[in-house]
Structure 1
Amino acid sequence: MTMDKTVATARDAVADIPNGASLAVGGFGLCGNPMALITALLDGGSSDLSIVSNNCGVDDWGLGLLLGARRISTMTSSYVGENKEFERQYLSGELTVNLTPQGTLAEKLRAGGAGIAAFYTQTGVGTQMAEGGLPRRYAPDGSIAESSKPKDTRTFDVDGIQKPFVLEEAITTDFSLVHALRGDRHGNLVFNKSARNFSPLAAMAGRICIAQVEELVEPGDIDPDAVHLPGVFVHRVVEVGSGIEKRVERRTVRESEGARP
């Protein structure tokens, strides 16, 4: 593989993602969404996608664009409360959903990227997350068509106390899509503040990681100590510029001091 991993356009970067592919996608809410790659994937027509991401965007932004076009068949995520179309497709049986606690999802992605097959956690012990029965897919009549299966549990000694843990399997995907503030031609990435949340983990989990960057720099321009994700995890880099649209999911403001009611 050449050390220069740059690709001319977002369309070229995602051109080989086929129908039925699995993808890990970075971002949290509307923060850090790889919109250029998502839009190019939408335009490319790939369908029956299995996507792993903290959430599924909103009705007209982020992964919500793919969802609205009926391109997603299975969604593994933690938070889905801001997307009405997601709710409709899930409850009508059009979408299979694997709900996963947020910290567990992050660790499942990290473990996949690190080559760890599974791990034990206390999160979900004593709930349907461990015992099974969570609705994965509904039937059109509202009945449950498919439920989650029970997971292996085991007791470990923690500070002299026997505590139960549930086994969670790691996640790896065919591709991953992430957005970064800066990247060099070798694929070393720097994320901006909270956009760093799930993005490095999603990038690690993909067998082929595609990164869109606002600023493309030459190798050596990024201080090695400032690299958030080493280029060994990244296979393609496309520059999208800093002028891209960035949305705020919920804008909260307060009146300035002295303002009249």
Structure 2
Amino acid sequence: MDKVVASAAAAVARIGDGASLAVGGFGLSGVPTTLIRALHDSGARGLHVVSNNCGVDGGGLGVLLAAGRISRVTGSYVGENKEFARQYLAGEIEVELVPQGTLAERLRAGGCGIPAFYTPAGVGTPVADGGLPWRYGPDGTVAVASPAKEVRAFAGREHALELAITTDFALVRAARGDRHGNLVFHRAARNFNPLAAMAGRVTIAEVEELVEPGELDPDLVHVPGVFVQHVLALTPEQAAEKGIEKRTVRG
């Protein structure tokens, strides 16, 4: 089945108001910037985003955030995004902060059909005990707090119950992909993109290099096409566009 779509606009056309999205990327590595911009242009709002971080000011998911299109974020890191921090502290957005490894496993579990799992991460802290501020009120008080999680002991060590994550859609970026949706990621882009791709009910992948079926070594495929519904081939200019989070100079 040829899953290639003609344009970014066509790829995200089904994503409507209030949709949940798993979005790949680690910092600015492997971020599906072309699909994010197309989603911005579509006008969809009230989005629930699951991603390691929410981009930076003016880049990645920061584009949707600055436009007020995101209502809830599940992630690990506020990062260098000042607008994200401002909206969170002002009570304009709901934020569920999750330990990074736990977030990765929640996405993987969702993609594998595992509804929940136990982990020692966060036990004895507000992550498990509850009370983390998900949303602040206008006066700075906590309007919505995280609930307490079930805790059980295994082999004499306490573990908290974490629920798997599945989303309506997933947006990811791959280094290479074929028309059947098989994907290969490069270095740090492999951190969260495969997990996001698995967790989405409808996964849309932008690929820097589109190849024909059979050209990818099956042993090197990171996400098989069964998890991917749509493939967008980037132009050379789009493929070359890769943001740098912090520029440094070494003498």
After TM superposition, the score normalised by the length of structure 1 is 0.94
What residue ranges of structure 2 are gaps of 5+ in the alignment?
none
Q: Contact 1:27–1:195 at 8 Å: present in 2 too?
A: yes
Q: CA RMSD in A?
A: 0.7
Counterpart position of 2:160:
166
2:210 partner letter = L
In the TM superposition, residue 142 of structure 1 has moved relative to its aligned partner by 0.5
Name the SS of the counterpart of 1:243 in structure 2. helix
CA deviation after TM superposition for structure 1 residue 241, in Å: 2.9
Conserved 8 A contact 1:32-1:179: yes
C-alpha contact (below 8 Å) 1:110/1:205 kept by paired residues = yes
Structure 1 residue 250: Cα displacement: 1.3
1:193 partnered with 2:187: yes
Rounded to whole Å, the distance in 2 between the matches of 1:254 and 1:243 is: 28
> Which AA in structure 2 matches 1:182?
R
CA offset at residue 194 of structure 1? Answer: 1.1
Alignment correspondent of 1:76: 74
What code does the residue aligned with 2:242 have? K
User: 1:202 pairs with 190, 196, 201, which one?
Assistant: 196
Residue 245 of structure 2: which of 221, 246, 249 is its match?
Answer: 249
Contact 1:104 1:123 survives alignment (8 Å): yes
Shift, 1:74, TM fit:
0.2
Q: When the two structures are superposed, what TM-score results if normalisation uses the length of structure 2?
A: 0.98
Q: Gaps spanning 5+ residues in structure 1: where?
A: 256-261
DSSP 3-state at the match of 2:68: coil
Aligned counterpart, 2:98:
100
Matched to 1:117, the amino acid is: P
Contact kept in structure 2, 1:213 and 1:241, CA below 8 Å:
no
SS in 1 for 2:117: strand
Aligned-residue offset at 1:192: 1.2
Question: What residue number does 1:149 align with?
Answer: 147
4+ aligned runs moved over 3 Å, structure 1:
none
- Rg larger for: 1
2:228 corresponds in structure 1 to 234
Give secondary structure in 2 for the equivalent of 1:179: strand
Percentage of matched positions with identical amino acids: 65
Hey, what's the Cα distance between the residues in 2 that align with 1:121 and 1:94?
31
> Secondary structure of the residue that 2:237 maps to in structure 1?
coil
Q: For residue 250 of structure 1, what is the amino acid of its counterpart? A: K
- Within 5 Å, give how 1:51-62 maps onto structure 2: 51-62=49-60
Query: Residue 118 of structure 2 corresponds to which residue in structure 1?
Result: 120
Question: How many residue pairs were aligned?
Answer: 249
Query: Partners of 1:75 and 1:5 in 2: how far apart?
Result: 29
Letter in 2 for 1:201: L
SS of the residue aligned with 2:106?
A: helix
Q: Partners of 1:139 and 1:87 in 2: how far apart?
A: 14
Q: How many Å apart are 1:226 and its aligned residue?
A: 1.1
Instruction: Please list the CA deviations of residues 208-245 of structure 1 after superposition, one character each: whole Å capped at 9, or x if unmatched.
Output: 00000011111001111111110000000010134321
